[in-house]
């Protein structure tokens, strides 16, 4: 940094501003290409597109959450209690991915597809939780 001159802006990523665990989940998610290769190896149908999976997670969370408490603090507590297990499950799946996504078995390939879908579903559920918290339904 040069005195008297502002420092250059830091490069922003699309995940800035997200909770660190959510950011980690998204960054560690297998790519669509990896998920498609894994589905092919496991003789599974290809997973839906990312926007479709995210929308599904959003819709299901909205339908299953139930009525929101009115006070923000209570609402936040209830939404976090509903969302945290989903986030934990997605992170557990990511932790159990085969090294470097090298799938040698059908089980590894199925795990990659399941992780890809679960992460994107969780992203949609997070969006729904945030919309409910903000009172946008």
CA–CA separation, 61 and 7 (whole Å): 42
Position 5 scores a pLDDT of 47
Position 9 scores a pLDDT of 45
Cβ atoms of 125 and 54 closer than 8 Å: no
* CB neighbours of residue 18 within 10 Å: 16
Query: In degrees, to the nearest 5, what angle opens at C-alpha 89 toward C-alphas 14 and 16?
Result: 15
pLDDT (tens digit per residue) in 56-66:
999 999 999 98
Cβ atoms of 119 and 48 closer than 8 Å: no
CA–CA separation, 39 and 111 (whole Å): 10
Confidence bin at 95 (pLDDT 50/70/90): very high
């Amino acid at each position: 940094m040069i005195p008297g001159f502002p420092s250059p802006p830091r490069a922003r990523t699309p995940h800035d501003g997200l909770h660190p665990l959510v950011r980690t989940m998204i960054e560690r998610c297998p790519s669509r290409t990896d998920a498609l290769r894994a589905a092919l190896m496991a003789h599974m149908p290809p997973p839906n597109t990312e926007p479709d999976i995210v929308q599904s997670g959003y819709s299901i969370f909205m339908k299953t959450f139930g009525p929101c408490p009115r006070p923000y603090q209570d609402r936040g507590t209830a939404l976090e209690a509903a969302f945290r297990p989903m986030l934990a499950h997605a992170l557990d799946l990511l932790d159990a991915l085969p090294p470097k996504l090298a799938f040698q078995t059908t089980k590894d390939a199925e795990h990659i597809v399941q992780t890809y879908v679960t992460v994107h579903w969780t992203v949609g559920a997070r969006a729904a939780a945030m919309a409910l918290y903000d009172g946008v339904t």
